[in-house]
Structure 1
């Protein structure tokens, strides 16, 4: 990618070379903290991979869990693995090698996978809310409506839309011109941060990226809110206490994951629009990209008896 020799910044025009890499400052530059950070990221990454893989294997190995709800849950676990894998391996590599650089191409690739799996998470959460809406509000028609073909189509459409969203962000970032020595105050590449370091005029791109975020983020949130405005009254009308408790457990796990995902996402992306301490933004990024995918398997399995039994059978077979 070639850049003009001069760009307009808040400083005097200066000669530019071709941008070949960025610097990721990470959580801390203190050498004494690097082993602690490496152990923290490594342990959380291994727990995330193991937990989500166990959910996927439990769903696949148990025929009683071949239902739409667990089909979407296994796809959510797969998306969580991809989401955390788009950032953490690079963090571990940089800490281990005592380097902080990431190539320009590597930054775009990381950005593409981050938005691909991140938005796929968001869409799958909406699909899971719609699945619960049909199961609770229209139980007699549930097997007909949520048939295997429709479930497969919903996942494929979610993947296609997520890919489209990730490519939009990559295209917008690839059009930017950067000054030399770009230092990103985080441990991964992200669109809002890259816009703030561009030398070219980014007002149009900034408006466009927030418009895209509002559209692509507003649709899943609206779908989830609409589903639960119908689900909660239907649960309250269930005559048996056992049916109510089971419905509240399933919906409560899903709502916990929704609040955790969108709450940490708001902390990351709203901090880029307002005055915010750099380190606090980095901590919010850890919560969003690492902690949330790690906690999802525990949230879904702690109070779900079906998943507990499937995991027990799976672990007994493995042992």
Structure 2
């Protein structure tokens, strides 16, 4: 049993690289997801994840499978969509969620079209679903750099970010940090989606950000607890997904996200804070 868990990472360097990349993403993306959930912006994260595709596709058309070009294009596209959706919501009668839905659909279609113009179906699959087992040194360095910058930045803006989640109007009334905090948070979302895109692809990257965060709400009552549970579940899901992929010869990115999904469904059933089974248990007299 222990040999089945350890030997793939001892014997094969590509498994060790995949493990390092997934662990780095698991440390930084789920905390971002927790704040997306608390701010009721989960669908925004999903839309921004798909918005990376046209930028990555343009980078691919200009420079082929270049890490720098595709990452820069993805970052620019994701940030542009986030800012454009907010601007449309503030300038028109359209709500921000509807605006994001429109940008998301257009971005996804445009990205697939652009990749298809020059690339093959294999190239399109790599962009959409990632190549976690083919991570090289530059990709790992990029992921590690984004993880480090994200964690340091989160530590700096943690207090105003938490306050904005629960009472944004109060933060605006007592501080000028509201808009800079919101903008910094959007940049962190896009950066972490870019990091996830390197390993899991544009369609899967948002999964490791949001699924552990949603599951954490069934286990913890405060922000710090939710972050800890989300990170732990993402780390375990990444390890499980890599091992399932290795032993059963299935795609690695979807295996990691499905492992996150299994933890989410288990949390929904047995989570101590609002899980289905706990809700069915008889309560004491006059207990709320």
TM-score (norm 1): 0.29
Per residue, is there more helix in 1 or in 2? 2
